[in-house]
Amino acid sequence: MTKISQWANDFVLSMLRTVVPIAWGWVLSQLVTHLPWLASVLGVSPGAPPPAWLVPTLMVGWYALWRKVEPKLPPWLTRLVLGANTTPAYAMEASLSGTSTPPLV
């Protein structure tokens, strides 16, 4: 695989693994606001638009939960909840630009 095609593949993977958890956060926030018992627990008015803090909170919680259990999941479930079952190789960007960066620890 060429450096450009690898970079494109990694870019698509990173976008999927960003957009899919955001979408799940939005879906969960919609469910929360339409389930009266859960809305009351969170102090949200049932049927009202979700408060500004709810979507990012659910998105981060969703992503953190699934990243934690990801090694134990079958590939199809990882694709469903995180968008892809592989992680992008971010080091490719540095090699394309000709600069070297220290590895992340």
Could you read off the pLDDT of 35-92 as tens digits, one per residue? 888 778 777 777 777 778 888 888 888 889 988 998 999 999 999 998 888 888 876 4
Map out the domains of the chain as residue ranges: 3-96
Residue with token string 């090699």: 95
CA gap 75, 47 in Å, rounded: 35
CA gap 56, 75 in Å, rounded: 25
Answer yes or no: is pLDDT of 104 > 60. no
Answer yes or no: is pLDDT of 105 > 50. no
